Each structure stands twice: as structure tokens, then as C-alpha cells.
Homo-oligomer: A and B are copies of this chain.
């Protein structure tokens, strides 16, 4: 066990080091760009201003890398513990995996918040000079302060994007390759020690699902906080009331406290899936109550002005915004569970489609994913409608912070999944007793559903965060152009509509690049495993390194193009065609991206669990004979075949094909799109003044 674990640890360490090496190079280059286009310290020769944005960017990127690294270390230490404790009792195993997730969740949120606060405090005294009595100057300085701090979110999200894309390609190339070559072609068990791709698969869980997901949600938190802070500056009441401006940070702090309290409820004696669900529900309920006293920090009425309109938000409306986000998150989570858990009809119907053919499974799975968009999007539309109407972009940012309110719990549950997945892998590869593998499988199945829920949160909050950042970007552009009054992003403007069209295409382009990368790397992996397996069966030792190498190389090489696409598109669009184009691209990317993200993540989750449903021997073959007769109570069909589908049957193979198709959708392209929409929005915000001042070099709305 320890040997297997060491392989995984080493693999993950090696990959992260390599990935971070390239990321560091990229960040240095990007810092130079920031320096040139945003900070411009040479503009004032005598007192060159401190390059605040660049500095924040570097701090954000470094913190994000640190967070990913810590997460990976925790996960690779806990996985083997979980396997070991499952030997004794499944509950002990659960506790170990769950505690691993906890450490991860609290560490990440704590670090994110702490570094952000340090950054604000250290900038504050320099940016806001107390000398000015003119209120407008103070307002300007406060906004500037938080725009500087936005670099922190930018840094975090940049690292998160490459972490997600790189990690996603890594893990799914290994997973798809190992499954198809091993399970399907050579008929050896998942995670079997005979399969040289399994170590890479398990390493991938750590670098993709732990380091990637951690950095993603870290970025969301940082960005929604930054967006709320930037928008705060428009409100006199918020500026004049002590500490009111830090309200968003306080909400997150309360979330940490509530999450601590919630963990007590994990002791309740019930099924593991229920334990995890109780965590989500209890934390939401506690948060609803705990935030009420905090409202005292806010002034009675908040006068928020946005796009030339005044929004009269009250303390209670602000509370309403947070609640909309918080409860929408829960509804999105429950809807995700309904569509992806094997205890409900949608996934069971998917399993039944496997009785006919793999093609019907795929068709219905795609349809399921598309359909699963409906509830989350209605929730988000309602949230946007009211939060926006009550408190403009401040309301939207609060809703995002509300949705991320119980982030430590969400991260705990997210971290729990890959840890128990890994524990199962270690059990299998160490040739432990079947009983132990069964126990870890039970832990893993529960983790699968909750992982889908976690993705739902991440996507929903990304939508709100991106919208708030979009609002901040527009405001910044208007300020730069000296247009403090009314401004709009008018769809009836050629550049905006063309941008909208183009922006809505970006998530497709991005998905195509990442999915193709997984497909190609998986093909290489299949060739390699196909080459090795006969040798291993003949007695040779499996060459894990070679498989790890394929995944590593593919992910590092193939993460560049999609990453660049996200960062470059809105900037280039703005530079060439003016800020209206950027605004269109951002809005198009948001509204189109979240749809692909939700449907990809849910289709994938449902296929995975339909396969698990089939493997658990619960798929009833007689269900196919709709029009003739039912044999539900008997165990054999008229032709002597067993009623129950088992591993290796054609029907199971159809389920495996669905699962494999879903892999890159749910773990590579889908979750990366969250970051795509957030990152393009925050990039535009940070470069907002640059786009406004220098944009439209080819042609712009003003020149036509």
C-alpha cells in the first residue's frame, strides 16, 4: 500500500512541479504585460507609482499554486490512511477521507481570505491618502484600491485555469486510456495492478480534481469578493459607515464559522450519502440564521448607483441577495443530484437505454444533460433578476458570495470524492481483500454524486461572479472615458451584437480543444497500454512511468492553446474593435458557457452512475420487453439468459462507452468553462482602462 501510495505521491509531485514551472514562466510574462498595459510605472518619472496590480497578480498566482500544492499533499497522505482504516471499519475510513477534505476546505478558504486581507491592508494606507476632504476623490481612491486588488483574483484564476485544463487533460487521458485499453479490450479490472495506466489515473485524480478544483473555487471566492468591493465604492452609505465596505469579507468569515459548526452533524448515524447531503442542508440553514446579526454592519439603506441609475438597496434587500445566492446554490445542488444520482429515474433510464445499444445511451445522456440545464438556469435567472434589481452589481456580487457562503463545506465534500476514489485504487493495486475494495467503492459512489453537486455550485457561482465582474468592467470603462453618468451595453449596437455571437462561440472552441486533447492523449495511452499488457501478463513489471509521461506531456502541451484563447480573446477583441466588442464577448461567453458547463458536467455524472448502477447488478434486462411481457420477478429470461446484466455483458459495455464519453465532458471541458467565463471577465476588468483608452485600433463603433 505504501509503495503504491509513494508512486502516486511522486507522480503528483512531479507533475505539479513541472506544471508550476511552466505556469511560473507564463505568469512572469503576463506580469510584464500587466506592467506595460495597466500599471505603467514610468508614466510618472519622479514618483513612479508602485505596480499594485502586477504585485496583486503575482501574490494571487503564488497563493493559488500554494493552495493547489497543499491540497495535493493532504489528499495524497489521506488516501492511503482511508484504505488502511477501511480494513477495520468503513466508518473509520469515511472519517479519514472526510477529515482530509475538511483540512483542505478550511485551509484553502482561510488562506484565500487571509492573503486578501493582508493585501488590502498593506495597499490601503498608500492608495487612500487621508488628506483629501473631497468625497469624490475618496470614492475614486477606494475604487482604485479594489481595482488594484482585483489582480489577486486574476492571478488566482489564471493558475486555476491552467490547473483545471492541464489537470483535466492529465487525469482523463489516463482514465479514458486505462479504461478502454484495460477494462474493455483486455478485460482486466479497473485499477488492476496489471494495467500500467492506473497509477497515472490515480495521480490524475489528485492533480485534476484536488489541485484544479481547489484553485477554481479559490479563484471564485477571491473574484466575487473583489467584484463586491469594487462595486461598493459607488455607494456613499457604504463608504461612510465604518467597516460596512468589508461586509463581503465578513460574510465569508461567518461561512467559515458556520462550516465549523456543521461538521458536528457528520456524526449523525446514517448512510454516507445522507451524511454528505446533511452537511449541505444544515450549513445552508445555519448560514441563513447566522447572517441576520451581521446585517448590523450595513447601513440601513445603501445608495448604490450603477450605469447612471440609482438603486435604493436596504439592509434587508442585501440579505435577500445573499439568500437568493445561498438557496439557489442548494436548489442547483439538489437538481444536480436528481439528474446524476442512480437513486433517481433519469440515471436509471440511462442505464435502461444501454439494453438497446450504446448509441441510445449516448443520445439519451446528451438529452439528459441538456434537460438538466433547465432548473439551474431558471434559478440563476431569478437570482440575477432580483439581486440586480435590488442592488445592481453589488447585489449580484453578494449573491455570488452567498452561493459560495459555505465554501469550506463544499470543498470538504469535493475533496472527499477523489480521496476515496484514490483509496479504492490503492486497495486494488495493493491486491487487498475484495471486502476492502467494496467498502472503498461505497465511499466513492457517494463521492461521485456530491462531486457533481460541487460542480453545480462552482458553475452557478461562476455565472454570478462573472456578471458582477462584467459590471465592474463596464463601470471602469465608463470612468476611463470620463462618462460617469448613464451608460449601457446595447445589444442594438453592431459591435456588441457581433461580440455576443463571437463570445457565445468561445466555450465551444475551448471545449473542442480540451476534448480533442483528451481524445488524442487517450489514443496514445491505449497504444502504450496495449503494448505493455501482454508483456506484463508474461511476467514483466508494469512501466508506470511511460504512462505518466504520456499524460504529463499531453497536458502540458495541450493546455496552452485553450488557456491562451480565454485570456487573449476579450483583450484582442477590445484592442482591435473597442470596448463594446469586449462587452459583447464577455456577455456571450457567460450566457453560452454556463449552459455547456452544466450540461457537460451532468451528462458525464449521469453516465458514470448509470455504469455504476449496471455494475451493481441492478439493471433488469426484462425491462426491454415492453410490449410483450414482463419477467421482473424471475431471474432468467425465456431464452435462459440472466435477467440481471453483469460486468462484461454487451449492455455493460454500452454503459462503459457512455461513461468514457462523459469523462472529458465532466472533468476536463465542463469544469474548465467556469474558469473561462470568470477569467475572461476579470482579465477585461483589470485591463479595462487599457481597452477603453487604446481599444478599437482596426475599427470601432466610434469610427463608423
Interface residues of A (CB under 8 A from B): 176, 180, 184-185, 306-307, 353, 356-360, 362-364, 366-371, 373-374, 377-378, 380-382, 384-386, 388-389, 463, 467, 471, 474, 487-505, 508-509, 511-513, 515-516, 518-519, 522-524, 526-528, 531, 577, 583, 587-588, 591-592, 594-595, 599, 624-628, 656-657, 660-661, 664-665, 701, 704
How many Å from the CB of A666 to the closest CB on chain B?
Answer: 12
A474 to B490 Cα, complex, angstroms? 12
A-B contact pairs, 30 of them (CB 8 A): A307-B490, A353-B523, A356-B522, A357-B660, A358-B657, A359-B657, A363-B518, A366-B515, A367-B512, A367-B513, A369-B512, A370-B508, A373-B512, A378-B502, A380-B501, A381-B502, A384-B498, A386-B494, A388-B494, A388-B497, A471-B492, A488-B492, A489-B490, A491-B587, A500-B591, A501-B594, A527-B627, A527-B628, A531-B628, A592-B592
- Whose C-beta in chain B lies nearest to the C-beta of A380? B501
Given contacts A498-B384, A527-B627, are A492 and B306 in contact (CB under 8 A)?
A: yes
* Residue among A364, A500, A519, A526 facing the most chain B CB atoms (10 A cut-off): A519
Which of B307, B360, B388, B502 contacts A498 (CB under 8 A)?
B388
User: Which residues of the partner chain B approach A489 to less than 8 Å between Cβ atoms?
Assistant: 490-492
* Residue among A180, A363, A628, A657 facing the most chain B CB atoms (10 A cut-off): A363
How many Å from the CB of A477 to the closest CB on chain B?
Answer: 12
Given contacts A378-B502, A497-B388, A595-B505, are A515 and B370 in contact (CB under 8 A)?
A: yes
Pick the 10 closest A-B CB pairs, nearest first. Answer: A388-B494, A370-B512, A359-B660, A371-B512, A367-B515, A385-B498, A488-B490, A377-B505, A504-B591, A370-B508
A380 to B504 Cα, complex, angstroms? 12
Task: Verify B526–A371 contact, CB threshold 8 A.
Answer: no
Task: Verify B180–A360 contact, CB threshold 8 A.
Answer: yes
Which of B176, B522, B588, B626 contacts A524 (CB under 8 A)?
B626
User: Which residues of the partner chain B approach A370 to less than 8 Å between Cβ atoms?
Assistant: 508-509, 511-512, 515
Which of B491, B493, B588, B664 contacts A583 (CB under 8 A)?
B491
A218 to B295 Cα, complex, angstroms? 59
How many Å from the CB of A188 to the closest CB on chain B?
Answer: 15
A491 to B362 Cα, complex, angstroms? 36
Task: Verify A497–B467 contact, CB threshold 8 A.
Answer: yes
- Whose C-beta in chain B lies nearest to the C-beta of A511? B370
User: Which residues of the partner chain B approach A592 to less than 8 Å between Cβ atoms?
Assistant: 504, 591-592, 595
User: Which residues of the partner chain B approach A501 to less than 8 Å between Cβ atoms?
Assistant: 377, 380-381, 384, 463, 591, 594
How many Å from the CB of A182 to the closest CB on chain B?
Answer: 12
Given contacts A389-B704, A657-B362, A657-B657, are A595 and B498 in contact (CB under 8 A)?
A: no
How many Å from the CB of A11 to the closest CB on chain B?
Answer: 21
Task: Verify B502–A371 contact, CB threshold 8 A.
Answer: no
User: Which residues of the partner chain B approach A378 to less than 8 Å between Cβ atoms?
Assistant: 502
A374 to B504 Cα, complex, angstroms? 11
- Whose C-beta in chain B lies nearest to the C-beta of A386? B494
A500 to B594 Cα, complex, angstroms? 12
A512 to B370 Cα, complex, angstroms? 5
Given contacts A353-B523, A385-B495, A494-B388, are A362 and B508 in contact (CB under 8 A)?
A: no
A120 to B599 Cα, complex, angstroms? 45
Task: Verify A498–B381 contact, CB threshold 8 A.
Answer: yes
User: Which residues of the partner chain B approach A599 to less than 8 Å between Cβ atoms?
Assistant: 508
Copy number in the complex reads 2
A526 to B357 Cα, complex, angstroms? 10
Which of B367, B490, B496, B515 contacts A363 (CB under 8 A)?
B515
Task: Verify B492–A474 contact, CB threshold 8 A.
Answer: yes
A518 to B330 Cα, complex, angstroms? 32
* Residue among A373, A501, A577 facing the most chain B CB atoms (10 A cut-off): A501
A628 to B527 Cα, complex, angstroms? 9
Given contacts A370-B509, A508-B370, A509-B374, are A357 and B704 in contact (CB under 8 A)?
A: no
- Whose C-beta in chain B lies nearest to the C-beta of A624? B527
How many Å from the CB of A703 to the closest CB on chain B?
Answer: 10
- Whose C-beta in chain B lies nearest to the C-beta of A701? B389
A357 to B358 Cα, complex, angstroms? 12
A440 to B463 Cα, complex, angstroms? 51
A628 to B531 Cα, complex, angstroms? 9
Given contacts A389-B704, A504-B595, A515-B370, are A661 and B363 in contact (CB under 8 A)?
A: yes
User: Which residues of the partner chain B approach A180 to less than 8 Å between Cβ atoms?
Assistant: 356-357, 359-360
User: Which residues of the partner chain B approach A493 to less than 8 Å between Cβ atoms?
Assistant: 488
User: Which residues of the partner chain B approach A357 to less than 8 Å between Cβ atoms?
Assistant: 180, 184-185, 526, 657, 660
User: Which residues of the partner chain B approach A526 to less than 8 Å between Cβ atoms?
Assistant: 356-357, 360
Which of B386, B516, B531 contacts A364 (CB under 8 A)?
B516
- Whose C-beta in chain B lies nearest to the C-beta of A594? B501
User: Which residues of the partner chain B approach A504 to less than 8 Å between Cβ atoms?
Assistant: 377, 504, 591-592, 595
- Whose C-beta in chain B lies nearest to the C-beta of A522? B360
A496 to B358 Cα, complex, angstroms? 41
* Residue among A353, A360, A463, A524 facing the most chain B CB atoms (10 A cut-off): A360
- Sample of 17 further A-B pairs with CB below 8 A, known A359-B660, A385-B494, A531-B628: A307-B490, A357-B657, A359-B656, A363-B664, A368-B516, A369-B512, A370-B511, A370-B512, A373-B512, A471-B492, A488-B492, A488-B493, A491-B491, A503-B591, A504-B592, A504-B595, A505-B595
A628 to B532 Cα, complex, angstroms? 12
- Whose C-beta in chain B lies nearest to the C-beta of A509? B374
A657 to B371 Cα, complex, angstroms? 22
A367 to B522 Cα, complex, angstroms? 14
A176 to B307 Cα, complex, angstroms? 53
User: Which residues of the partner chain B approach A495 to less than 8 Å between Cβ atoms?
Assistant: 385
User: Which residues of the partner chain B approach A388 to less than 8 Å between Cβ atoms?
Assistant: 494, 497-498
Task: Verify B360–A508 contact, CB threshold 8 A.
Answer: no
User: Which residues of the partner chain B approach A474 to less than 8 Å between Cβ atoms?
Assistant: 492
A487 to B490 Cα, complex, angstroms? 9
User: Which residues of the partner chain B approach A487 to less than 8 Å between Cβ atoms?
Assistant: 492
- Whose C-beta in chain B lies nearest to the C-beta of A499? B381
- Whose C-beta in chain B lies nearest to the C-beta of A584? B491
How many Å from the CB of A522 to the closest CB on chain B?
Answer: 6
A514 to B550 Cα, complex, angstroms? 40
A363 to B600 Cα, complex, angstroms? 12
- Whose C-beta in chain B lies nearest to the C-beta of A371? B512
